Amino acid sequence: MRWITFLGRTGTVLLAISLALALVSLIPPATYSAPIHRFVDGGMYEVVWSGRYTPKLGLSISIRSNGSVYLYFLSVSSFQFYNWTMTWAEENLQDPYYRFNITVLNEFLKAHPDDVLWNCNFSSGEDVFYEFIPTSVVNVTVVIANPSSNLVEVEGEIREIVTVSPRKRTLTLTQILASIGIVLVVPWAISMRRK
């Protein structure tokens, strides 16, 4: 009988913790936003954002263009990215100023396929939204590339998302704790009712 009481109280505590976690997951994230408005020449690319992100600090982008554009989230700092592209342009094109050519970006992508966190190709008038919340600390550089020969206008917004707790993990933990809590409370509740 003492074990049933102990397990019931433990289950009650787990249910209370799961309720607290559920409430924490409902706290809306704080955001900082910055507009994006760029003209990208044909056959060129531009870095539009770079930063260091954690499970509590994520990044989202909402973007559209008047032409076909590639969007990349790369897991490198802008310093590392610029260093690599400048070195490659000096060695292969004999001019570091060509580092913004899409050929150099394609060479970086071939040499570092594991550094591509996410990529997307979108067309004129198409709205693209992507939210990235990492599972560990990671540098992120956002790159827009124009594969066509025409000038393309790109506009949108980038947001940094600050959360109290990563929502997906919190909800998973809440479900697990609530399930265990219910399993432990039910026998105790039945024995209390019989008394």
Across residues 50-66, what is the average pLDDT? 92
pLDDT in tens, 152-183: 999 999 999 887 766 667 778 888 888 888 88
Tell me how far apart the alpha carbons of residues 95 and 88 are, in angstroms, rounded to a whole number.
9
Q: What is the mean pLDDT of the chain?
A: 88
Mean pLDDT of the region 136-156: 94
At residue 178, the pLDDT reads 85
Bigger pLDDT: 173 vs 35: 35
User: What global pTM score does this model have?
Assistant: 0.74
Is pLDDT above 70 for 186? yes
Q: How confident is the model at residue 1 (pLDDT cuts 50, 70, 90)?
A: low
The pLDDT of residue 47 is: 95
For residue 195, the model assigns a pLDDT of 67
pLDDT, tens digit, 9 for 90 and up, residues 74-133: 999 999 999 999 999 888 888 767 789 999 999 999 999 999 999 999 888 889 999 998
